[in-house]
Structure 1
Amino acid sequence: MGKEKSNITVFEHEWLRTDRGEQKLTSGQFEALQQFYGENGVPYYSLIHHGVRFNEYVGVIQIGKTIIEVLPKVDKLKSTGDEIKSTWRGVLVSMLRAVGVFDIHAPSRSDLHLRSNSILDLYFELFIKEVEYLLHRGLVKKYRKTEGNRTALKGSIQFAKHINQNLVHQERFYVKYTTYDKEHNIHAVLYKALRLLSYINTNVQLNSRLGALLLDFPELYDIKVTESLFEKITYDRKTDPYRNALGIAKLILLNYHPDVKKGANNVLALMFDMNVLWEQFVYVSLRKHKGSSTSIVAQNTKNFWKPNNGYHSKMKPDIVLNKGMEDCVVLDTKWKNLNGYNPSPEDLRQMFVYMKYYGAKKVALVYPGVENQNQSGQYYDHSSHDSKDLSEEECSIISIGIESDIRVWQRDIHELIISWCLFKDY
């Protein structure tokens, strides 16, 4: 029999419960999510009575064979039909591709014809494609030091261990020597990821390719995967093509949490902060179309305050255009739907500080929206005795309508922001 699976699709900020709703959690799934949440919590969701409420993180959480897909959504539409889910799934994948999350070495991206039920399937296929690419190129060999008994003297003899182990086997030598082969940590990590995928994969279209890879890939030792293991991996001319495969392997292996008690509800979480993704997406969209006379930096840090004793505080706006120039502009991105309300006082105060500290001509808060809109508002004159006086300093609200066509969307982002800036190279 094939592997059984069930998929649950929700939007950010929605909830799933065990006792109500069209889509329900089983008690085992809820228990697994509670255990994964732990004492310190996770940012992806919060625990509620008999269920969980998802936050501004999107992506997938796999519990056993069940995939919970959390999609972004900022409009007011109440329908959650398959067409809307498919549209938002495409928007999410497009954004992840644009910011470089799905960079691959595979010869042709058009080969990715898998009908994915979630971005988890896409991740798995990308990893498979990367490993297929590496096998086609030929796996690299590396030098490694090893020791053990051999029937021929090779390398340096280890006298203490030789005498201890070979008193009655004088035909053997306990030696330490160098071997040049494919048995090294990089391949051990990829092999471990392949074995994990063959265990947790629920997409039957990938089963045969995973099986073929496990037959072709050298069978290696089990390796303990930690963050420090990946930090120790160094890349050179021969191993640089491994970067993407190792990047996906790291994401999968470090985010996999086995259920040590029951073994049935293992958890794999691949989630993305939509605030960070939106900021990066706006940034790469502006860079993609920017003119030669416009400079752009992201997350530019400046010292803001220093106590008499201790460390200084910093400010970090999302995007600064033409930093240090007369037409400097500061943008801060927010992944939320204002629904006709004003931005929060905290956001407006923050933009006022950015304007002063960067000497910006303009500042704006950039939101996703149903349609393209640009609205400006003036700050009150803080130097005036009359509390009703307005200054010339303003903060704009730029709402950018979401497009399913990624190229159109990125062009709209650039055109709307640059036309608001009134840069000469627009």
Structure 2
Amino acid sequence: MNKNNHIIVFEHEILRIDRGEKRLSETQLKSLHQFYGESGVPYYSLVHNGVKFCEYVGVLKVGDTLIEILPKIDRSITASEESWRKVLIDMLHAVGLFQLKAPTSGSLKLKTNSILDLYFELFVSELKYLLRQGLVKKYRKSEGNSTSLKGNLKFSKHINQNLVHQERFYIQYTTYETNHQLHCILYKALKLLVHINTNESIQGSLKSLELDFPEMPDIKVSEATFNKVVLNRKTQGYEKAIQIARLLLLNYHPDVSRGSNHILALMFDMNLLWEQFVYASLRRHKKIETTIAAQNTKNFWKPTAGYNSRMKPDIVLNKGKENCVVLDTKWKNIKNYNPSPEDLRQMFAYMKYYKAKKVALVYPGVNNSLSYGHYYDHLNAHDDKLGVEECSVISLAYNTNVKEWQKDINSQIEKWA
């Protein structure tokens, strides 16, 4: 990809058209404005002559230009863009987004220009694997005129269409072929990649796949299309290719007004990714006797009419036991500041409802640190005395070696718990 068409920024940075080392063109800004629309998107906010990125990271492909948004815990950290890209890819791998079953995935070189390139390479790898294995065929009912009588004769349509063509038969018959929905979805995703790819290293593979993959009819896809996909024993190998096709097709937004600045958005919420990463790290390295639950739900408030309100902490260790602890993860570096009052109130509620021995807010940071504070005695609030309940604040030092980072996360939590 041409470096002029690849803009790299970090979360919470601003891109403008009139200042800054990295700039948007007026056409690109207009496309981002149109994509933002009246209801907005969570990936960025609009500022004067530009956009400000939020806590979402990943890639926005605007026409031929790729805007890559990388995570960064602190502006003072001097790690390179390449290091942070590797951290992001390794975090996504750790939570299971790149766990592909095809044998070809093991030989992939993850030294790509962006996460978008990685997804393209993975999709190409999966399609090659499926073609080598042989595409699954399915029975499909068809009907139409034929010069030979096979299947079932549709008598009323036969009389209607072939009254003067007695050499023809209008029949309904079953064919065993590759033309079915799974292949239509994969073919549509393949055609999209051929259209938008700018990574020269896979251009040849895409063209080859376009020739080797049987041509399929174009279909409209939506969330409902993928929700209806059911894989069986024969088609289980299609799972990852379909997942990537879903990600690409549902996040592609054609520019209907100008026809040139289409947008493909592959963005990840760092708050959610951090939560899943901490959970995956603890699960991977926990002691045998430790139990762990993510997003465990409890009823919190019941109205006289309508649905109950629920609380849902991020991670609960040893739920229902005397050594139960509750963790809530936040993707931000609070440095020496206090947590927000809302977060502290939330942790107090978790402590009471889960009968937790300890609760903690878990942040990423430059260094490992542990601090805590006591809640005031809520039973004797007028005495202005501290109670026995406390909430800890745990900062987990980042490491560009993600496997080592995961071990350290578990070690720091175990020492605290």
TM-score, structure 1 length as denominator? 0.95
- Superposed displacement of residue 47, structure 1: 1.1
Match of 2:63 in 1: 64
Identity of aligned residues (%): 61
Counterpart mapping for 1:5-404 below 5 A: 6-77=5-76, 84-113=80-109, 115-385=111-381, 387-404=383-400
Deviation at 1:112, TM superposition (A): 1.4
**Unaligned regions of 5+ residues in structure 1, if any?**
422-426
Q: Name 1:424's counterpart in structure 2.
A: none
Q: What's the CA shift for 1:77? A: 1.7
**Aligned partners of 1:5 and 1:65 also within 8 Å:** no
Deviation digits for residues 147-195 of structure 1 (CA, Å, limit 9, x no counterpart): 1111111112223332333233221111111111111010010001001
SS at match of 2:380: coil
Q: CA deviation at 1:389?
A: 1.6
| Equivalent position SS for 1:132 | helix
Contact 1:378 1:394 in 2 (8 A): yes
Question: Does the 8 Å CA contact 1:130/1:244 hold for their aligned counterparts?
Answer: yes
SS in 2 for 1:145: strand
Change in CA separation of 1:126 and 1:85 when aligned onto 2, cut-off 3 Å: same
Contact 2:104 2:129 in 1 (8 A): no
The letter of the residue matching 1:248 is I
CA distance change for structure 1 residues 102 and 368 in 2, over 3 Å: closer, same or farther?
same
1:416 partnered with 2:412: yes
Distance 1:310 1:375, change over 3 A: same
Structure 1 stretches of 4+ moved >4 Å: 2-5
Q: CA deviation at 1:386?
A: 5.1
Q: What amino acid does structure 1 have at the position aligned with 2:371?
A: Q
CA distance in 1, matches of 2:193, 2:304: 54
Q: After superposing the two structures, state which structure 1 stretch, 195-204 or 111-120, moved more.
A: 111-120
CA separation of 1:115/1:219 partners in 2, compared to 1, >3 Å: closer, same or farther? same
Q: Alpha-carbon deviation of 1:50?
A: 1.3
Query: How far apart, CA to CA, are the structure 1 residues paired with 2:76 and 2:189?
Result: 39
Deviation digits for residues 237-262 of structure 1 (CA, Å, limit 9, x no counterpart)? 00111010000000000110111121
Q: Which amino acid in the other structure matches residue 245 of structure 2? A: A
CA distance in structure 2 between the partners assigned to 1:4 and 1:152 by the alignment: 60
Cα distance 1:317–1:57, how it changes in 2: closer, same or farther (>3 A)?
same
CA contact (8 A) 2:104 2:125 kept: no
Counterpart residue type for residue 293 of structure 2 = V
CA contact under 8 A between 1:4 and 1:65: conserved in structure 2? no
Question: Is 1:365–1:398's contact at 8 Å kept on the other side of the alignment?
Answer: yes
Which stretch has the larger CA shift, 34-43 or 240-249?
34-43
Cα contact 2:12–2:54 (8 A) shared by 1: yes
Q: Distance in 1 between matches of 2:247 and 2:298?
A: 31
Aligned residues: 417
**Does the 8 Å CA contact 2:105/2:122 hold for their aligned counterparts?**
no
* Displacement after TM superposition at 1:78 (Å): 7.1
Rate the CA distance shift 1:169–1:133 in 2: closer, same or farther, 3 A.
same
| TM-score, L = length of structure 2 | 0.97
For residues 396 and 195 of structure 1, do their structure 2 counterparts lie closer, same or farther at Cα, with a shift above 3 Å needed? Answer: same
Secondary structure (helix, strand or coil) at the match of 2:186 reads helix
CA–CA separation in structure 1 for the residues paired with 2:178 and 2:4: 36
Q: 1:324 to 1:410 in 2, by over 3 A?
A: same
Query: Offset at 1:339?
Result: 2.6
Query: Structure 1 CA distance, aligned partners of 2:3 and 2:267?
Result: 23
Residues 1:77 and 1:104: Cα distance change in structure 2 (over 3 Å)? same
**How far off its partner does 1:76 sit?**
3.0
One-letter amino acid of the structure 1 residue matched with residue 160 of structure 2: N
Q: Is the 8 A contact 1:12 1:71 kept in 2?
A: yes
Q: CA deviation at 1:5?
A: 6.5
8 A contact 2:333–2:363 mirrored in 1? yes
Cα deviation digits, residues 107-139 of structure 1 (max 9, x gap)? 154421253111000000011111111111111
Gaps of 5+ in 2: none
Flag the 1:117–1:377 CA change in 2: closer, same or farther, 3 A: same
